[in-house]
A and B are shown apart, each in its own frame.
Chain A
């Protein structure tokens, strides 16, 4: 048999029946073998489907925003709760300003009657007491010597007088009293409204701090775009040298509120500020209205009741749990 030779097959061989069988075989073969290519997902997709199924469900139940966390797991996750309670809320604002000498604490001492300076013992930096003699001048008119006394206790900060010179109305000594200086805090337009005379201020400089109150608020002397709040500072310690810049926290409000929560309890959920209320193993978001707030606490105007348990620490975990339907890989 020559298998490779092609002999034209006789027409009777190709009966209709046989060709039908051929077609049946062909289609059957194709179907059974490759039916597989039609509707399938690979296993990873199925896994994904399962996840997204769940996501979908969660998405559908958006109104039912609640997080269920077992006690021990919540503990591991660092979720801590506290009771809603009242307390004080102190609001403060940070501003800066320069220390300046008290205007009443600086005296440029001159001689009342012109004459020759006969004695000038006080030296720069010397501490002097009120009435202590700084210099002596021999009056041109009476030719009598008279003493120039310190107007108040303080430090000699400048000396222009030397023995033998004529005083002629010039400044002989400058005496400054540093026991009290003033902080001139600059208040800019955004800050002005909140600051009033009488508010207490915490001043900070190089690790020292002191408290005082705002005594005056006045425009800046040279038409600069700020106001100056003046605060008296006790400088008996000597740390508060004029010319230095101090940082000041002005207490702009301090009040007792009926309800307050720690700031880290507040999260943003769908554009609303919420606090998560804990009941057993369930955590509900509660939309709240915040009143005044400071660095640690916020006043709750509505949305919470006294003694409700709310999540203080790791409240983000609850937010994440509620919103996790949106968490996807994003490739």
Chain B
């Protein structure tokens, strides 16, 4: 079949060139559509259901909202699990679906279920689905600030509320229109409200209750249409206007008549523009501000969307009031550009290096160019494939591409054709030339095909990774495999065709000086090692053992963390910290961080934003520290981790804050994935929170004593201080009050009661009745608040209720419809698997778990265990498959094993390279080892197939070995050099994102160096040892 393809390719060479053009065209077109991002999206398929429930405490939120919502979701198709969080004023249920579920389908089924349970929820509460975005969605943030001398129309300065109004009604509607944006989420400032602030004393004078006031406001604030009349042929619409528009109009509203005198709002209350009871605040550089976050729709191109937003923001600036500025503070484009620059630079430099090497070693510029042409063509085919398969271009997916590796197959073919053509020494007629090209190609097509197939095969284990690792490495493996297959396709079609067309004329193959020099060194060396074979082999074994030991001393990490170039940190205060207190503490923190000369901007989101994509209590602030470009740093060589350490030391001095340092994207991923992040998580499920906590503490006590346990702790669930106004039921009934009435009064007085909407054009603001700030803040004296009775009398609140200060849970977490408390622990210096078994045993022995309660073991240990188990099966199988392929290729187990011996030898180099560069083992490095074994096999294949051929031809083993090795020196050196030099830029790059690729490149380079040396020296020895007793090569032709 191969021969047929080859023949057609050479005969229809013009067609093949056309095909190449087609590939280029498609590739360029698809490149425009390819989603580009910095990192792969590791978010699972999840939908958030947020229900904002103002005034609900965590317990009420759970009971009234979370539970019905969760129950409604059970049995959804493709449902993986649900988890929920009930906080003050917010219920968030996160529904996670099986991988591969269509997000829109998932949202659809959820919406259907939710609409059917709406009647079960408290009135006025509306569950909403979170934005259609993933962890990469927060691509753009901006702040709205005002200059000091900026004035509003009425002459007052722009305060936080005015800025929020600008954000909500001028900026947001415009930004939301940018293509690819799913949500503009605002935090900070105050949403403007109209407040009616009654004076209890005056209300008492006229016998007016909160309810009277509320009713009056609700009934006197609407417009009504009344159809139309026709007059003299003209149609006139009839309407009755009654909407309240100004504060004055509200003042004039009549509440009721007392002794035929109208009592107006102005008689009993003040009306003013007031602040909402906010759940979140925002600060920037130590001052309050308003922050808007643009969320990108799933699957959009973050770079395009962010650029669109930035451009739109520019034009919005023109429409803002004088002195109000909107400024982008976080723009994903910066990171994506940097990361893609890094990748591009690596790929470009790698490609150039490859071309130079090809030219130097082939000594023929045309041949070098033909080979090099495979690089862009394969790249464009890969891009087409990526776009079709929905793989985005990012550091990980492009991170393992090595053009050296890609062109390996082509190199072997071109090299052989050149060699054959140059042997001819004179110009051939077309027909003969074509035949020669065909023969020469056919000669090496199988080894090179095999080589490429084997390299492809070694990537298969990566596809078996699941979860986050899977999401990170599937794109990488898919891209490499696509690139290799593309190159494979090209090297049997376009490459031979191109050779046939362009390698006309006398082919001068100048053995380049490099090759000549190499041969001069190689020949005596080869002879020598063949003599000292036992010494060399033992040296190899020592080396092998040494590097195996070395590998165990290397540190290890999971995936090298992409350095995003900016710092994010959680500032955590004690539960129950008020939002204004948090703002004060935040100011000090930001002022301190801002003192660092490296810091450009620092801003923070405190608490929960308008759309609760990240439900944080007010005691937690997400800080973003934007750094200046390095050239502006006092010491541009300061590493980012050192800077983080410096900042950490500095901010640790500030009282009352705990910190967790991370990076913006990483932070968002953590928030969304949000599983147990410790090695071992023991989840206690059950009903009663106190009991859960007791069991959890018992579990904690029992595992704390184990060896190797670290950071063991119970999730914090309590500690939210509450003032509980507890009704005296008997007293209530004596005064003829119902519990409901009392609760309404308390809720209105302190929390405020929504009593309508004030419209101003498009803008709409709530009209709220609540006590003046000075009264509602003083809870003790609030107990003296007079409550109107139906008979016109009144009683103080203290008559019918008592005030108690208690604590409630600050949040209630549930998983799969049941309350849970997590005990988490990390494990140090002990085998994780056995530790978990021991812990389970111990807990079973020591902890009594009441009926109705149960434990569940989870945590990273699960993923690690399943990943390593899967790999320990898949990797040997893959190796066996490769071996099988080799055996197939050579029909000889011995030869296959000889080739295979290159793998461990190659790995030694990788380990040593890691050790020399002081890098830990990581999955990235692991991918490097995978690529390496492929290259090592390819090297051996090339060498061995020729030695064998020679041996078959002249039956002298020794001569065949030396001759074969000498002939194949050039292709082996070439494939090795291009593969390793192609990775050199990647290994040395220090730009953004390089840290993800560096270990991989380092491993490949080190491994190829060792593998090449050993292929050239050890493989002949092994071949000789294995075959010295065989008189004849296996009879294969």
Contact = CB atoms under 8 A, between A and B. Distances in A.
**Binding between chains A and B:** yes
Interface in B525-564: 544, 547-548, 551-552, 556-561
A37 interface: yes
Contact of A33 (B547, B653, B659, B926): B926
B888 A36 contact: no
Contacts of B831: 39
Interface string B867-898: 11001100110011001000111111110010
Given A36-B922, A37-B871, A317-B585, A44 B572 contact: no
Contacts of A2: 1036-1037
The 7 A-B residue pairs with the shortest CB-CB distance, nearest first, are A320-B656, A321-B655, A327-B572, A42-B558, A36-B921, A37-B868, A3-B889
A39 B832 CA distance: 7
Nearest to B582: A320
Interface of B: 200-202, 204-205, 446-447, 450, 544, 547-548, 551-552, 556-561, 570, 572-575, 577, 581, 584-585, 588, 591, 616-617, 619-620, 653-662, 666, 670-671, 674, 677-679, 710-713, 715-716, 719, 721, 734, 778, 781, 784, 786, 793-796, 798-799, 805, 810-811, 826-827, 831-832, 860, 864, 867-868, 871-872, 875-876, 879-880, 883, 887-894, 897, 900-901, 903-904, 907, 911, 920-923, 925-926, 929-930, 933, 945, 948-949, 952, 1034, 1036-1037
B1020 to A, nearest CB: 18
A1 to B, nearest CB: 5
Contacts of B560: 43
A25 B903 contact: yes
Nearest to B791: A224
6 contacts: A32-B551, A35-B552, A39-B556, A40-B557, A77-B588, A96-B786
Contact of A43 (B561, B619, B781, B952): B561
Interface in A244-262: 244-247
Contacts of A9: 887, 891-893
Interface in A176-220: 188-191, 204-205
A161 B845 CA distance: 100
A315 B620 CA distance: 19
Contacts of B570: 329
A326 B798 contact: no
Contacts of B784: 93-95
A146 interface: no
B871 A327 contact: no
Given A43-B557, A93-B784, A319-B574, A53 B710 contact: yes
A323 to B, nearest CB: 5
A49 B655 contact: no
Interface of A: 1-7, 9, 13-14, 18, 21-22, 25-26, 28-45, 47-49, 51-53, 55-56, 59, 67, 69-70, 73-74, 76-79, 93-96, 188-191, 204-205, 224-225, 244-247, 268, 295, 314, 316-321, 323-331
Given A32-B548, A56-B711, A328 B658 contact: yes
A1 B948 contact: yes
B557 A76 contact: no
A263 B619 CA distance: 23
Contacts of B904: 25, 28-29, 32
A44 B860 CA distance: 13
Contacts of B778: 295
B520 to A, nearest CB: 31
Given A25-B904, A45-B678, A329-B620, 10 more contacts: A18-B897, A26-B880, A32-B551, A35-B556, A43-B557, A77-B655, A324-B573, A328-B716, A329-B570, A330-B715
A321 B1036 CA distance: 81
A188 B588 contact: no
A44 B903 contact: no
A68 B206 CA distance: 56
A78 B585 CA distance: 10
Contacts of B547: 32
Given A40-B558, A327-B619, A55 B713 contact: yes
Given A32-B911, A330-B811, A47 B894 contact: no
Contacts of B922: 36, 40
Contacts of B879: 25-26, 29-30
Instruction: Find the residue from A59, A190, A321, A327 having the highest chain B CB count within 10 A.
Output: A327
A192 to B, nearest CB: 11
A49 B662 CA distance: 12
Contacts of B574: 319-320, 323-324, 326-327
Nearest to A1: B1036
A223 to B, nearest CB: 12
B90 to A, nearest CB: 13
Contacts of A73: 588, 653-655
B577 A320 contact: yes
B615 to A, nearest CB: 9
Contact of A34 (B654, B871, B888): B871
Contacts of B201: 96, 204-205, 245-247
A48 B660 contact: yes
A37 B872 CA distance: 10
A4 B661 CA distance: 56
A47 B661 contact: yes
A318 B655 contact: yes
B561 A70 contact: no
B558 A74 contact: no
Nearest to B87: A330
Nearest to B653: A73
B929 A33 contact: yes
B926 A188 contact: no
A69 B655 contact: yes
B397 to A, nearest CB: 19
Contact of B897 (A6, A21, A319): A21
Contacts of A94: 781, 784
B315 to A, nearest CB: 37
B49 to A, nearest CB: 17
Nearest to B877: A26
A34 B926 contact: yes
A316 B577 CA distance: 9
B172 to A, nearest CB: 27
B320 to A, nearest CB: 33
B949 A35 contact: no
A44 B871 contact: no
Contacts of B891: 1, 3, 5-7, 9
A79 B903 CA distance: 66
A78 B584 contact: yes
B374 to A, nearest CB: 23
A6 B796 contact: no
A22 B860 CA distance: 33
Given A21-B897, A326-B719, A327-B572, A41 B655 contact: no
A5 B892 CA distance: 11
Given A96-B201, A245-B201, A331-B670, A47 B572 contact: no
A321 B796 contact: no
Contacts of B911: 32
A127 B155 CA distance: 49
Contact of B656 (A28, A52, A324, A329): A324
Contact of A35 (B447, B551, B677, B713): B551
B557 A42 contact: yes
Contact of B799 (A5, A25, A190, A321): A190
Contact of A52 (B561, B670, B713): B713
A42 B796 contact: no
Contacts of B923: 36-37
A299 to B, nearest CB: 16
B671 A331 contact: yes
Contact of B572 (A34, A96, A329): A329
Given A29-B875, A45-B677, A188-B799, A245 B577 contact: no
A77 B659 contact: no
A3 B799 contact: no
A35 B867 CA distance: 11
Contact of A326 (B447, B575, B666): B575
